[in-house]
Structure formats: C-alpha cells, structure tokens
Structure 1
C-alpha cells in the first residue's frame, strides 16, 4: 500500500516555461515552484495539461518532475503521467515514481474512447504496478469520455487510487461520487476553478487549479475558507477571482494562463506548437483583470495597515 497523501487544499497545475528555442527553461521552472510553495499551496502538479505534457518527450517529462522535486522543500509533487496508451502511462508512472514523485495524476485515455470497463482496467493496471497514491482525472471535453460514478466508486476500492479530479462541469455527477465514496479513503478534487467552492460544498477536498498559478494566495484563502465552512468569505473570494477564472479559459488552456504568467513577470508566454499566443482581443481584458486584482490586493493591505496603527 502506498504512503498516504493528504489531498486537502490547493494544488496548482503548473505551467512549463520555454526559452526562445522552445527548450524547457529549468531555472524559471524551479523559481516558479518555489514561488508557489512560498505562497502556501498544498502541493504541486507538474506536466499535466497545463504543463503542455502533450508536446514534451518522455525524457523531458521526467526531467520536469525531477526539477520540481529538487526545487521545493516541504510540499508533495504529484506528477501528471497519463496517456491514451496504457503501456505508455505505466512507463511514465514508473519513471515518475523512480524520480521521487509523491503521487500521480492520470488523465483518462483520450481519442480512443474506451468503455467504462476499459477505464477500470487501464487505471487498475497502473495502480497495481506503481505503489504511489494516484488521482484519476475526468475531463471529457478533452478525452471524449467521462469517468462515470460507478467507475469512480469501483476504482476507489483500490488502495493506490486516492482521488478523482473532476473537470466535467457536472455537479450532480460530482456530488454522487463524493456521496458514494464518503466512507472510503478517497478524495474528490475540483479541476474547474469556477466550480471549486460549489464542489467543496458537496464534499470535494480542494482543487488542482489553473488560477492558483496566477493568484496562489487568494486561491488558498478561498479554498481554506470553504473547507472551514466559512462560505461567506469563500463566496467573496470566489467573486473576486471570478473574472480571472473566466478569462483563463477564453482560449484553450494553457494559452491564457501562460499570458497571465508573463504579464505578472513569472515566466515567458511561449508555448510549443500547435498552441499559439493569446490573441490581442483577449489580452487587453486579461491585463485589466490582473490590474484590478492587484488594486484590490493593495487596498486590502492598506486597510490592514491602517487598522494595525
């Protein structure tokens, strides 16, 4: 049985920075991991969809995992190791485990669209072979197939399958899974920033978040408040972040978040083809939203400083 992993809180789905020649910028990657750890996140998730894993070689994939592990001191690193090829996902998972990852995030097979029994066989094959906590990832908009509640409940019986990342937008499905796995050692995590607070209200334990790359402190405050049952504060923070949540998905993820990271000075906006830079029509709106968030942050800090006098 794998070492337990606390899946409560905020786990940014990290971006992968590239230099002018489209090579991975490992210095910037490690600096970004340290920035997020300092901001108070509960773990890091490199080389997922937001990390452009689809355009990384297997060797690059493992080197990113190794670099993030090396950069941080006290947060778990959950490596994205999914594939639509079970053998390939197993190989990536084994290599991530050898690199020292604390857990794995496994997207359901995409394009070939297996039936639910095929999904069970796929995830069980990896869980049987790799002794790490594993999160199955449901994002039917990318894969063309949903991991249904019966399948999730069946998978939750495996000692190495620790959680379910939900990015279907179906709150009914999510509520059913949290209800039916309530007695299991199994966590449901939001994979949709705009639904994180509603998901926690029906039993989710946190989020694997895109927005936390840009606003880690505020995302942590929002999730912490919701977990503590302070829904008035959680709702307020959700509304503050709402425009950012929406803007980060006006084009395919991670195009907008890479642009936001560049605007904030955290990394270049470069993406590997076939992804392209955020269009000009959306960049202005993103700049305005980020500026407004900075203004709100400054106003809160000034108010706090006044009250301490």
Structure 2
C-alpha cells in the first residue's frame, strides 16, 4: 500500500489562527506532484494535538479531494480513548484510506493496556491502522505481536530510536505473521528520520516519514534515492551539509520539529501561517539559518547532477 518517501503536510493557519483550507489544498497538491508514496494529514507535523474534531474532518476531506486517488491518504487519530475513536470514525467518513494511531496523552501505560487501546480504536472502523511506538506508548514484543494480529493493523511506526527493542519486535512480528500471508509494514518515525534511516534499514525497517519533504521535496527524494541506489557519497554529503545541521537547529528549541517545517513551507512560497500554542515560531536568526541549510542541501544535489553530466 505504501512505498517511497512519505509526505506529512503541515496544517496552515491564517492570521486569526484558523485553519486555512485553501492553503492546505495548495500545499498538498504541490507535495503530491513531487511524487511521494503517501500523504499523512493531521498527524504530528500537521499539529494533530492542536486540532478540533470538526477541523480534522474538513482537513481530511480536503486532502482526499486534492489527492484524488493519486496516492493513499492516512489521517492521525489519538488522544483519549473516546477522542481516538471519534477521530478514527471521522477519518473514515471523510474518505481517508487509513489511520496513523498516535499515542494517548499524559498517561504512561503498560504494553497490555496499549494493545487494548489499539484494539478498541481499530474496532470502530475498517480502515487500515498503523500504530505509533513512541513517548508514553511503547510496545514490547508480546504487545506488538498482539496488535499486528488484529485484522486491520497493517504497520508499526517507531519513534523511540530504541533499535534493540525495535529489532526484536520486527523479528517477532514477522515470525508471528509468517504463515498468514499478511503484509505488514515497518516505519522509522523519528523526527528527521533520514538521520537514522541507515541504521533502521539494517534491521529491516525500510519505510520512513520525511518532514523535509513538506518544504524541500527534492532534497528528501534525492536522499531516498541515494539510499535505494547505494550512492553512499551522496547520502553522506546530504547528511553532512543538510540533515545534520537541520537536526542541530531543530534541537535548539522544543517543538522545532514542527515549527521549522512550517516555516520552511512558508519560505518556499506557501504561507503556512503560525503554529498553535504551545509551539512557538522560529526566531529570525533561526529562520535565516534554515534558509542557509536548505540552500546547502540544494547545492549538494546540484553538484551531484553536475558530476553525473560531466562523467
């Protein structure tokens, strides 16, 4: 169902802080034209945590309308058990192809409780579900196998970076599903996932979400293609000149994993507006740094293309 670079759009807001659905449509249309393998709306980068149910439903509806079947559209769901069910039902009603199940907030839960949370949310819709392993919602091998065997759960996305645990989960889930013929997907869901994707590929996790695709799709695609073709020189150059500097900038302020991406979309010509509290906008100094980093990434691609032409 999913392959290639996965596109996580931002949610544009206008000057009054309301969702700007027209800018959202423009942003998604431009992104899909660049060639992602799927669109994940109203998820982490899309500020799911700050959206109301009515806003969410309209975001999903507009995304499905714009994408028009070109690639699958997944939507976020999460929060309290009641909220997660409501968002899952809305995603289905508004035409989404699947759900990314985000963690419940605040409470730290045992793996068995997380598996039950997943089961109950999955039960309210027949949409495919990808579970998100991160923060306060961390699966172990037994609970991961349990949810992977639910009929509509099709994937496991990791945002912990705990390769020890994830490696064991990948092996355990594959073994549990081996005789069923069920296709199951594994994703790297760390912020700026490109940084760790070489390590994730080594344990059998080949898919990843790319926040960079939202504002610099050519850089995201160049990196993905360098991994797929084994172009280690280009991979390392993009890590050195773009992704590592981006992460250093991202780590300066909590929430910049979203704020910088949204600012990048605006810098590229689509006014994505502000972030909603409690996130904060990048400073002028950090915006200038983001511009320099993005230019450096594009220079790497230009240099690689020039080398190919002259070779």
State the TM-score bracket (shorter-chain normalisation): 0.7 to 0.9
Contact persistence 1:153–1:181 (CA under 8 A): yes
Aligned residue for 1:181?
173
Contact persistence 1:93–1:126 (CA under 8 A): yes
Contact persistence 1:211–1:257 (CA under 8 A): yes
Q: In 1, distance between residues paired with 2:168 and 2:231?
A: 23
Contact persistence 1:7–1:205 (CA under 8 A): no
Deviation at 1:305? 5.6
Mapping 1:186-197, distance limit 5 Å: 186-192=184-190, 193=193, 194-197=195-198
SS in 2 for 1:270: coil
Map Cα deviations across residues 139-198 of structure 1 (whole Å, 9 max, x no partner). Answer: 21xxx3422232212211112111111111212222222222224332111112121232
Aligned residue for 2:180?
none
Q: In 1, distance between residues paired with 2:211 and 2:58?
A: 21
Instruction: Give yes or no for the alignment of 1:244 onto 2:246.
Output: yes
Aligned residue for 1:217?
218
How many residue pairs match? The answer is 298
Distance 1:228 1:98, change over 3 A: farther
Contact persistence 1:197–1:238 (CA under 8 A): no
Contact persistence 1:174–1:199 (CA under 8 A): no
Q: In 2, distance between residues paired with 1:76 and 1:250?
A: 34
Aligned residue for 1:3?
none
Instruction: Give yes or no for the alignment of 1:62 onto 2:63.
Output: no
Instruction: Give yes or no for the alignment of 1:263 onto 2:272.
Output: no
What TM-score comes out, normalization by structure 1 length? 0.88
SS in 2 for 1:136: strand
- Structure 1: which 5+ runs fail to align? 1-5
SS in 2 for 1:54: helix
Map Cα deviations across residues 4-49 of structure 1 (whole Å, 9 max, x no partner). Answer: xx23222122100011111111111111111111111100111112
Distance 1:221 1:154, change over 3 A: farther
Q: 2:286 aligns with which of 279, 282, 286?
A: 282
Aligned residue for 1:39?
34
Aligned residue for 2:147?
155
Q: 1:79 aligns with which of 75, 96, 101?
A: 75
Map Cα deviations across residues 285-305 of structure 1 (whole Å, 9 max, x no partner). Answer: 212101212333444455556
Q: In 2, distance between residues paired with 1:15 and 1:166?
A: 20
Distance 1:265 1:165, change over 3 A: same
SS in 2 for 1:188: strand
- Over the residues paired in the alignment, what is the CA RMSD in angstroms? 2.2
